[in-house]
Structure 1
Amino acid sequence: MNYERYKELRVEKDGNILTLTVNRSDTKNAINAALHEEFSYIFDDIDRDESVDVVILTGSGGSFCAGGDLKWLLSMHGDPVTTSIGIRRDRKIQNSILDLEKPIIAKVDGPAIGLGCSLALYCDFVYASDHSLFADPHVSVGLVAGDGGAVMWPQLVGYARARRYLLTGDAIPAPEAAAMGLITEAVPADQLDETVARMAKRLARGATHSIKWTKASINAGLKVSANAIIDRAAAYENVTQLLDDHRIALQAFQNKEKPQFTGR
């Protein structure tokens, strides 16, 4: 498999372990159009790569992924064609991760926000440094949580907690996220690399077909729920990308002000 076409994602292989690094550290790995597009097909490429049995997903420069880039989101506002393209990619990202039978380990150091948080939560293991934060603040920017939060949060922490965090956008420190079952484990920052490497090597040395097909069996039920949610959440998010409240929120955050929503 040739990964040379990837620019925003850095792809490295060590034996049968592939490490996928979000490579926009100057923006805290915020997602722009190019990165969003690459995420929409990278997992399909990994699926076809028979030399890979385990995947590590991480970020560069002390951040996992800060969510959508404000400039990119503003450039799409009010354009139904452009926003629908982005929504279609969101659906492809979610489905391609769920369809990938190879185990994925998220190595989170720093903020995992919005789609960045969803990317982590769709992984099979989530290890985070103890100073990391997890949040899905779509509502804070006038959007529906359409890129995975509405799927994964209720599955992981139950509906009561999911509502608490998805309807407010509040952030959760990694130790609390681990305690409530949102992520696998929070560890001291200086132990993160070793912890992830140890699990990746254990999986890579295991009975790979048994591991893959056990994951596929677990995901079979999850995919039933996900398919009932993804299309509706994505459609609602597409509508909110056209509303004034979304533009108001983006401009307010850009100006470091508090948004004054109008409900329109």
Structure 2
Amino acid sequence: MYSDYEFLKVEPGADRVLRITMNRPEKLNASGEIGHGEQGRIWREFDADPEMNVALITGAGRAFSAGGDLEAGNGPLATDMRDGRALVRNMIACRKPIISAINGFAVGGGLAIALLADISIASEKAVLMDGHLKIGLAAGDHAALVWPLAIGLARAKYHLLLCDRITGKEAAEIGLVARCVPHEELMTTAEDIAARLAKGPQFAIQGTKAALNNWYQQNIGIFEHSLYVEALSATLPDAAAGLDAFRTGAEPEFPGATNANMY
């Protein structure tokens, strides 16, 4: 088990904590096609592992995860949709608690992992941004499902439509993450939480998580809608313009800005 991962560094602990590190620091832990698939698959394997009670995920280097590798592309559109669906659905369905230690920049699919974790701890150096609309894509992944429940519909619309960056401290203040701590205390804090959960009553912990995640399960159609519109938006000229601007460092000029009736 856990032997065939390339993007993820997976370390089962004798303390029943599974430590997972997104391990591509030279690319800010952007996933690429292989990593995107692994980010969805790991949660099913963790859920089935009788030796592990808790998962703790973070990123190597100075980023949590920059999401998809926009320079290389994640892969065919159908594969992207499948992997994106697996990531979100498998994290929600996982019976065991997941902790994210958000050590730096978290965007796109990386942010989905950060916020779908049951307990999200952010460093003061963390920067969170959904980022989809910056490159002409609809906000798919997790955002339409998770953000309104965490911070309310008004704030969710503000942040998802404008794509402003949110610091770890701001994220904690608005309820997007559970806590924000000094950077040097991040892993110690996350490890302490993992240890408490690993030693706790597992049926009660898992049952409480399952009951709370019904908020997601009962509204999963919201996620499927967002996944569809993200995939559709990826085929339109706005996405091409957004990606070109990203690669060149220019300000994007979206063709759709002159058409008031696009959707």
Deviation at 1:243, TM superposition (A): 0.8
- The amino acid across from 1:235 in the alignment is Y
| Structure 1 runs of 4+ with >6 Å offset | none
Q: Work out which of the residue numbers 181, 201, 207 in structure 2 matches 1:187.
A: 181
Deviation at 1:72, TM superposition (A): 3.0
Deviation at 1:25, TM superposition (A): 0.4
1:252: which partner in 2?
245
1:113: which partner in 2?
107
Matched, 1:237 2:230: yes
1:79: which partner in 2?
none
Matched, 1:178 2:177: no
Q: CA RMSD in A?
A: 1.2
Deviation at 1:251, TM superposition (A): 1.0
SS at match of 1:18: strand
Deviation at 1:258, TM superposition (A): 0.5
In the alignment, is the contact (CA less than 8 A) between 2:36 and 2:68 conserved in 1?
no
Q: d(CA) in 1 for partners of 2:235 and 2:216? A: 30
Matched, 1:146 2:140: yes
1:37: which partner in 2?
37
Deviation at 1:220, TM superposition (A): 1.6
Q: TM-score, normalised by structure 1?
A: 0.94
Matches within 5 A, 1:1-264: 2-15=1-14, 16-73=16-73, 82-225=76-219, 227-263=220-256
- The amino acid across from 1:237 in the alignment is E
Where structure 2 has 5 or more consecutive residues not aligned to the other structure, the ranges are 257-261
Q: Work out the percentage of aligned pairs sharing the same amino acid.
A: 34
Q: TM-score, normalised by structure 2?
A: 0.95
Deviation at 1:247, TM superposition (A): 1.1
Q: d(CA) in 2 for partners of 1:252 and 1:222? A: 34
Q: d(CA) in 1 for partners of 2:234 and 2:202? A: 42
Q: d(CA) in 2 for partners of 1:89 and 1:229? A: 17
- The amino acid across from 2:229 in the alignment is Y
SS at match of 1:71: coil
Q: d(CA) in 1 for partners of 2:235 and 2:252? A: 16
Deviation at 1:40, TM superposition (A): 2.1
- The amino acid across from 2:166 in the alignment is I
1:211-230, CA deviations, whole angstroms, 9 ceiling, x for partnerless residues?
Answer: 011101111232111x1212
Count of paired positions: 256
Deviation at 1:42, TM superposition (A): 1.0
In the alignment, is the contact (CA less than 8 A) between 2:10 and 2:21 conserved in 1?
yes
